[in-house]
Amino acid sequence: MIVTVTLNAAVDRTLTVPNFQFGHRHRASHSLTGAGGKGINVARALKQLETPVIATGLAGGRTGDRIVEDLALEGILNDFVRISDESRTSIAVVDPTAGSLTEVYEWGPAVRPDELERLTDKLHYLSRVASYVVFSGSLPRDVENEFYADAIRDLTRRGIHCVLDCEGEPLRLGVEAEPFLVSPNQQEAESLVGQEFMDDEDFVMALETIADLGAHNVLITQETSCFALVREERQVHRFRASIPRVDPIAPVGAGDVLLGGFLSERFNGAAAGDALRTAIGCAAASVVELGAGRFDPREAQRLAAGVEIEELERVTT
């Protein structure tokens, strides 16, 4: 199966507020509350694609109870380490009239060393039945930036394909640990390589740079498209996968769904191009749904038929 790891899990609350304005009182026209965090979003996407998945990570306090309960209600198998501090709550305000999204995230709980040790032990146990272990999202308080890198090295030695999707220093250190796949969004990738991307050549150079830093495979995700470097049958392929613009309702979590769609297909033996087609279809279907990680698989399949896959040449300097 696939194991997803969310250290900074949350209860996500998404509010639809037409004509949202700062400093004014509003009444939400719709709301949705559920378990959240990037790894949980990936697990939710995998569950919807009927790919075997178990979600783990850290959960604490009453908020942690709610996270675990919500996952159980969704039928997502989970095995979280319970911690003493309270898990965080996140709020997203969607304004459909302006097409805007405002997000507010708490920092998350403080984590004790013994709690992290219990998580490491759990990962050793769960990885016995894992094809992929996916590390996603921010690190909570008192967790060192090296955590993902250390875990990736440990599990890679055990023969597990590790996937990383985070930002900042944990991303840089994690890439150096040589994960099987790294999946930053455009802004995270720009920070990692130290330049903005203006055209296809910039993206291809970024794929090569991140691979040179240590990642075996690379996805640079956008809302409903991505650039990919994939090693397949002893060859290196570079792709651009895109779809005609979809008017978004709530784009939060689209990158997590894209990653889930890609991993689902690869888990089931699909070629890289087919996996990217499904991934983009899932991401596009998710931006027209309220709530991170949620999409209609039938709509995703329909949209995937319109995905354009282009193989790109390596940029020579």
pLDDT value, residue 317: 59
* Mean pLDDT along residues 235-249: 89
* Mean pLDDT along residues 103-127: 94
pLDDT value, residue 156: 97
Percentage of the chain lying above the pLDDT 70 cut:
99
Is residue 261 assigned to a domain? yes
pLDDT value, residue 288: 87
pLDDT value, residue 245: 82
pLDDT value, residue 182: 98
pLDDT digits (tens, 9 = 90+) for 160-195: 999 999 999 999 999 999 999 999 999 999 999 999
113 pLDDT tier (thresholds 50, 70, 90): very high
For residue 308, what is the domain's CATH number?
3.40.1190.20
266/25 Cα distance (integer angstroms) = 47
* Mean pLDDT along residues 67-83: 97
Is residue 291 assigned to a domain? yes
Q: How many domains does the chain have?
A: 1
Is residue 72 assigned to a domain? yes
- Find how far residue 153's CA is from the centre of its chain: 20
Is residue 111 assigned to a domain? yes
Is residue 178 assigned to a domain? yes
223-258 b/e with 16+ CB inside 10 Å = b? bbbbbbbbeeeeeebbbbbbbeebebebbbbbbbbb
pLDDT value, residue 55: 98
Is residue 250 assigned to a domain? yes
* Mean pLDDT along residues 209-214: 97
Is residue 317 assigned to a domain? no
Mapping DSSP to helix (H, G, I), strand (E, B) and coil, where does residue 95 land? strand
What's the whole-model pTM score?
Answer: 0.94
The residue segments making up the domain with residue 162 are 2-312
